[in-house]
Amino acid sequence: MMFTERGCLCAVRGPMGAPSLKDNEVHWRQCAEEARGAAGQSADPITKKTLLEIAAAYEQLASLAAAKVASKLSG
């Protein structure tokens, strides 16, 4: 889990009582963008590499979420 500049916690669950974020493509793409932004600000190469790997993982989650939603809509 990661706290971001806008105070977001990139995680699977939304706030108490909110729907799960696991199938929300936009949420995961925002998390990826924030991780890339943090990587761009990092002077440490290991931290930068790790944040870029996290961003890539968030992009994969976004793609999976989009595919799941598309599957629900078509069938």
Domain map (residue ranges) of the chain: 22-68
| Tens-digit pLDDT profile for residues 10-34 | 655 555 655 577 889 999 999 999 9
Residue 52 and residue 36 in contact, taking contact as beta carbons nearer than 8 Å: yes
Which phi and psi angles does 25 have, rounded to 5°?
Answer: -60, -45
- Checking if the pLDDT of 1 tops 50, the result is no
* Token code pair at residue 67: 């595919």
- Checking if the pLDDT of 40 tops 50, the result is yes
* Token code pair at residue 48: 């930068």
Closest alpha carbon to 33 in 64, 68, 2: 2
36 residue type, one letter:
R
Q: How confident is the model at residue 50 (pLDDT cuts 50, 70, 90)?
A: very high
pTM of the entire predicted model: 0.75
Q: What is the pLDDT of residue 17?
A: 55
